[in-house]
Structure 1
Amino acid sequence: MKTRNFLAAAVLTATAFFSASAQKTVMVGGAAMYPSKNIIENAVNSKDHTTLVAAVKAAGLVETLQGKGPFTVFAPTNEAFAKLPSGTVDNLLKPENIKTLQTILTYHVVAGKWNASDISKAIKAGKGKAVLKTVSGGTLTAWMEGKDLYISDQSGNKAKVTISDVNQSNGVIHVVDTVLLPKM
């Protein structure tokens, strides 16, 4: 009887541990990012991603990023958008530029769930580089510098992943410090 009670307690403890770790939250922009919420539900709470959220809304991509996925999003911060030439963001948010905005935003999205360890494995398999196809049809190149993960775009810009593996119910977000731009 004692053995059965001990085993039952051990199973309950292990279940509680794994349930808690499966629900691990990551802080981004001063807000907890819950793995049980989708990309949009989490992103709207990040103070570091207000420009990205405004752009996603202006581009009409909210419903898409709330969808089943899975998606891997390389999410530029407000500071990343601020690095763009003056007036660029305001211009992109105009209704007449919706197609360009959609192309730029979907260039930050890769189909499937690519955690940092998956990207790292692809980099090793690619002898130092991994090419990821974006939802917009372009490519991003991933590589490592020491322990840091970087992503470069087709225009030669490079972004450092500053926070990786922010798991969502419909994918994963990697926070980046630069806006990635496709060849236009």
Structure 2
Amino acid sequence: MVSTIVLSFSLTAAHATDLIDTAATAGTFKTFLVTVKAAGMTDSLKKDGPFTVFAPSDEAFAKLPSGTLELLMKDKAKLTKLLSHHIVPGKILVSEVKPGPIKTMQGDAVTLTSDNGKITINGVNVTESDLLADNGVIQVIDSVMLPR
């Protein structure tokens, strides 16, 4: 008796992961994703790029003074300015950080530092690095940076 084994292979295209999908998969950016949606920036972070997003974690948003986030959520212009202050054009991996000022999408300069592998942006710590997406990279930060 001869038995035949049929092997079936399914070839599917790799699913593209944009910055929004990457943040959602990480699970620690619920507040960031809500603010991005409220500011109307979701499409830009899904389609445009490349960007480096210095994304505050949920814990970072929790450190804001009481009522701050609620006020920002009611003012789309201020919310957009705040979020744009956390986004830099181009894809900057931690290994590629050049200390010094860099311009954000919001238009202000922020200062990157690198000290023995510890990266900061305007004095805020990068706590997790290089969450790669097809249209950029997310660097997790431990505080929300308020623009001037």
Quote the sequence identity (%): 40
Distance between the aligned counterparts of 1:115 and 1:159, measured in 2? Answer: 17
Per the alignment, residue 57 of structure 1 pairs with 37
Distance between the aligned counterparts of 1:84 and 1:148, measured in 2? Answer: 23
Q: What whole-Å deviation, never above 9, does each CA across 1:116-144 have from its counterpart, x for those lacking one?
A: 1221xx22xxxxxx111000101110112
Per the alignment, residue 118 of structure 2 pairs with 148
Task: Confirm whether residue 115 of structure 1 aligns to residue 85 of structure 2.
Answer: no
Distance between the aligned counterparts of 1:45 and 1:144, measured in 2? Answer: 27
Which residues of structure 1 form unaligned runs of 5+? 1-22, 24-33, 124-129, 153-157
Per the alignment, residue 69 of structure 2 pairs with 89
Q: What whole-Å deviation, never above 9, does each CA across 1:26-58 have from its counterpart, x for those lacking one?
A: xxxxxxxx8x40001121233311000000000
Task: Confirm whether residue 136 of structure 1 aligns to residue 106 of structure 2.
Answer: yes
Instruction: Give yes or no for contact 2:22–2:131 (8 Å, CA) kept in 1.
Output: no
Q: Higher helix proportion, which one?
A: 1
Per the alignment, residue 47 of structure 1 pairs with 27
Equivalent AA in structure 2 for residue 168 of structure 1:
A
Distance between the aligned counterparts of 1:68 and 1:59, measured in 2? Answer: 16
Distance between the aligned counterparts of 2:31 and 2:131, measured in 1? Answer: 19
Q: What whole-Å deviation, never above 9, does each CA across 1:69-113 have from its counterpart, x for those lacking one?
A: 10000000011111110011111111xx00000000011000011
Normalising by structure 1, report the TM-score: 0.70
Equivalent AA in structure 2 for residue 159 of structure 1:
V
Equivalent AA in structure 2 for residue 111 of structure 1:
P
Give, in angstroms, the shift of residue 145 of structure 1: 3.2
Distance between the aligned counterparts of 1:88 and 1:68, measured in 2? Answer: 29
Instruction: Give yes or no for contact 2:52–2:90 (8 Å, CA) kept in 1.
Output: yes
Per the alignment, residue 83 of structure 2 pairs with 105
Instruction: Give yes or no for contact 2:36–2:42 (8 Å, CA) kept in 1.
Output: yes
Specify which structure has the bigger relative contact order, considering alpha-carbon pairs within 8 angstroms and separated by 6 or more residues.
2
- Give the alignment of 1:25-36 within 5 angstroms: 36=16
SS of the counterpart of 1:44? helix
